[in-house]
Amino acid sequence: MNHLKEFIDYGIIGFLIFMSFLSVWFFIERLLYFRSIKLEEFSNKEELEVKLTDYLSLIATIASSAPYIGLLGTVLGIMLTFYTMGQHGIVNTKEIMIGLALALKATAMGLVVAIPATMMYNFLIRRVEVLLARWDIVHAAQKV
């Protein structure tokens, strides 16, 4: 059962930390790309939109799946706590509460990853909308 506890602590939490790192990495990458983009170089709006939305689905996927991964860690942690209680006949409230608190940290971590990822995704989507509107303005002025 120690393997399951280590899987929860290092596997689930580690994976959530990795997901958080990825979402921040691609958020920064997208911001830098948005700053360097030259709208005049794109003659096709669809091509511009494809370039602007690269990696956004990854950030959205992280934002939507992180709470579920955290919940998985919590469920496994609670199962481990109940299994240990049954196996050892533990009725000690202190040990039960410690086990449940440790299990809930996975859900908390999932939310800590998901909330900023959602905010980053929404921020980037708004930037995409603004850049596409600016492309329309630049190309409308060129037609006149």
- CA distances (Å), origin 33, targets 2, 5, 96, 127, 128: 45, 41, 50, 11, 11
Cα–Cα distances (Å) from 63 to 14, 25, 76, in that order, read 16, 14, 21
pLDDT over 80 (residue 86): yes
Predicted TM-score (pTM) of this structure = 0.86
Place of tokens 């990825």: 22
Of 11, 9, 3, 40, whose CA–CA distance to 137 is shortest? 40
pLDDT single digits (tens) 41-82: 998 999 999 999 999 999 999 999 999 999 998 998 888 888
Euclidean distance between CA atoms 10 and 98, whole angstroms: 18
pLDDT digits (tens, 9 = 90+) for 91-143: 778 778 877 888 899 999 999 999 999 999 999 999 999 999 999 998 887 76
Distance of CA 12 to the CA centre of its chain: 13
**Contact (Cβ atoms closer than 8 angstroms) between residue 4 and residue 58:** no
